Chains A and B, each alone.
Chain A
């Protein structure tokens, strides 16, 4: 069975700083997808970024980028120039193609301070 582990329950940084959220996973599959979802307080969960395991290039979406280390089964999220609106719960998630099921990590509560 696949598992996803986020070892940082909470993090706090100052606005404009760069922050990295950690995620490790365990699987015997070779082909899979990895996601970071953001859930702001009292607002809906949205997809931040996705990575296909077969792609060596790390995914980037504006200020958000990932460091995907397939051999180490590590998938960290870097937020550059952090903004107050980045304050949220962040979930790392794993899925095998066609499985129709996300396996979530425990989440990291990120607070951006003014």
Chain B
């Protein structure tokens, strides 16, 4: 089945130690998103790629970076995780064109713990 896959599902990192979360998709969608979701809150968009075009949200800290080496993969790099970065990180995709172009498909998320 076509889907959005996130690895790992659970990640523990130390304060200040760089960490990378990965997302892959078999939907061949043009757009990939990264969201941060803290407990009992709505997802907060960090940035998205439309193909290779990177779009950063104005309030996303510089500590968060992203890479999209090809259509299928997108990575979230946290350069120096702080305790406040502990959260669920959601990856999502959308077609970006054609029917239902804006409909987003979410992955299961990676829960990040910072010790």
Give chain A's interface residues, CB within 8 Å of chain B. 33, 35, 37, 43-47, 50, 89, 91, 95, 97-102, 104-107, 109
Q: Is the CB of B42 within 8 A of A104?
A: yes
Q: How far is the CA of A106 from the CA of B40 in the complex (A)?
A: 8
Q: For residue B33, which residue of chain A has the nearest CB?
A: A100
Top 10 A-B pairs, shortest CB-CB distance: A104-B42, A45-B106, A44-B108, A44-B106, A95-B102, A107-B42, A106-B42, A100-B31, A100-B48, A33-B102
Q: How far is the CA of A35 from the CA of B45 in the complex (A)?
A: 16
Q: Is the CB of B43 within 8 A of A109?
A: no
Q: Check if B109 is an interface residue, CB within 8 A of chain A.
A: yes
Q: How far is the CA of A25 from the CA of B106 in the complex (A)?
A: 23
Q: Check if B55 is an interface residue, CB within 8 A of chain A.
A: yes
Could you say which residues of chain B place their CB within 8 Å of the CB of A99? 102
Cβ-defined partner of B45 (8 Å) among A50, A102, A105: A102
Q: Is the CB of A101 within 8 A of B42?
A: no
A51 nearest CB across to chain B (Å): 12
Q: Is the CB of A101 within 8 A of B108?
A: no
Q: Is the CB of A43 within 8 A of B103?
A: no
Q: Which of A43, A102, A109 has the most CB of B within 10 A?
A: A102
Q: A44-B106, A50-B103 are in contact. Are A105 and B42 (CB under 8 A)?
A: yes
Q: How far is the CA of A79 from the CA of B31 in the complex (A)?
A: 31
Indicate with 1 or 0, residue by residue over B30-62, a CB within 8 angstroms of chain A CB atoms.
Answer: 010100000011110100101000010000000
Could you say which residues of chain A place their CB within 8 Å of the CB of B103? 35, 47, 50
Could you say which residues of chain B place their CB within 8 Å of the CB of A109? 40
Q: Is the CB of A106 within 8 A of B96?
A: no
Q: For residue B44, which residue of chain A has the nearest CB?
A: A104
Q: Check if B94 is an interface residue, CB within 8 A of chain A.
A: yes
Q: Is the CB of B41 within 8 A of A107?
A: yes
